[in-house]
């Protein structure tokens, strides 16, 4: 039996990176997966899963629009009969812009996707999970929501909001059997972080990527997917209201000078 055998799941941002890796991991462990993304690449993820013998369906949606969230939750109900776990992973970075040059519109869009998206996911799956007295909600936050200098300002603020959202939702759902947790990835090679990696490689500094954490390297989407899999599973039945850094130890330390 797989670790998610028989579980009905949703993963947003499933078209690439952490979302794709998590969708594949969920399916490999026996879950039926509804893969959601704003791009058509989500169907490539589904194809990978199906070719590997897993069960998945895909659809495009904007996670920051309530009608679209209703639509993807409804699709999971229609196709799978319910939802046992959701990984609200979709997000955008917005890129680095000096704070004096940031616009209200940029902030609104980043908050809409990164913070309203997880809120809406929680809002629309909670009634189902409360009725069945069990369920796991996982959201992607970031180390940027814990400490400064790990991401652009509006992105960091949105991820700090996700951590607060998860903590408050877990307590609001006291005694219902529904768990809510967050993952705080460190530097992971994904489409979102591609400019960082491309720039370092162009300068010949690839070996320095991730040097600020004690594991001395950057991370991979599959390593975040492993945490998402655990939190979605019954193995994490006593884990609730937490925000877990998966960052090679980055947030364990104050700034330091490498001694080499």
For 192, list phi and psi in degrees, rounded to 5.
-65, -35
User: What spatial distance separates the first Cα and last Cα of the chain, rounded to whole Å?
Assistant: 47
Among 72, 155, 174, 244, which one carries the catalytic annotation? 155
Residue from 63, 122, 123, 125 nearest 92 by CA: 63
* 109 sits in which H/E element: helix 104-111
- Give me the count of residues in the chain: 260
Q: Are 88 and 126 in contact (CB under 8 A)?
A: no
Active site residue 96: no
Q: Are 162 and 140 in contact (CB under 8 A)?
A: yes
Q: Where are the beta strands (DSSP E) in the chain?
A: 8-12, 32-37, 55-60, 85-88, 135-140, 178-185, 243-246
Residue from 24, 29, 30 nearest 11 by CA: 24
Q: How far is CA 257 from CA 54, 165, 254, in A?
A: 47, 35, 10
For 218, list phi and psi in degrees, rounded to 5.
-85, 170
- Rounded to whole angstroms, how far apart are CA atoms 70 and 224? 26
Q: Are 45 and 58 in contact (CB under 8 A)?
A: yes
Residues identified as active-site? 155
């Amino acid at each position: 039996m797989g670790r998610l055998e028989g579980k009905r799941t949703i993963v947003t941002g499933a078209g690439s990176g952490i979302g794709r890796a998590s969708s594949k991991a969920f399916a490999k462990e026996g879950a039926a997966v509804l893969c959601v993304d704003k791009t058509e690449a989500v169907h490539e993820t589904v194809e990978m899963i199906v070719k590997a013998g897993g069960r998945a369906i895909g659809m495009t949606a904007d996670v920051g629009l309530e009608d679209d969230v209703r639509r993807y939750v409804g699709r999971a109900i229609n196709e799978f009969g319910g939802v046992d776990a959701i990984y609200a992973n979709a997000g955008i970075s917005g890129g680095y812009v000096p704070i004096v040059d940031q616009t209200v519109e940029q902030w609104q869009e980043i908050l809409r996707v990164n913070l309203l998206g997880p809120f809406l996911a929680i809002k629309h799956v909670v009634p189902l999970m409360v009725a069945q007295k069990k369920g796991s909600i996982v959201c992607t936050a970031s180390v940027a929501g814990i400490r400064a200098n790990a991401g652009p300002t509006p992105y960091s603020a949105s991820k700090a909001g996700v951590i607060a959202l998860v903590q408050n939702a877990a307590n609001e759902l006291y005694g219902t059997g529904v768990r809510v947790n967050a993952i705080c990835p460190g530097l992971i090679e994904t489409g979102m972080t591609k400019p960082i990696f491309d720039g370092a490689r162009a300068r010949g500094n690839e070996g320095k990527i991730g040097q600020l954490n004690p594991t001395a390297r950057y991370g991979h989407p599959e390593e975040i997917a492993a945490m998402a899999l655990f939190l979605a599973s019954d193995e994490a039945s006593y884990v609730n209201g937490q925000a877990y850094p998966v960052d090679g130890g980055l947030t364990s330390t104050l700034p330091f000078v490498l001694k080499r």
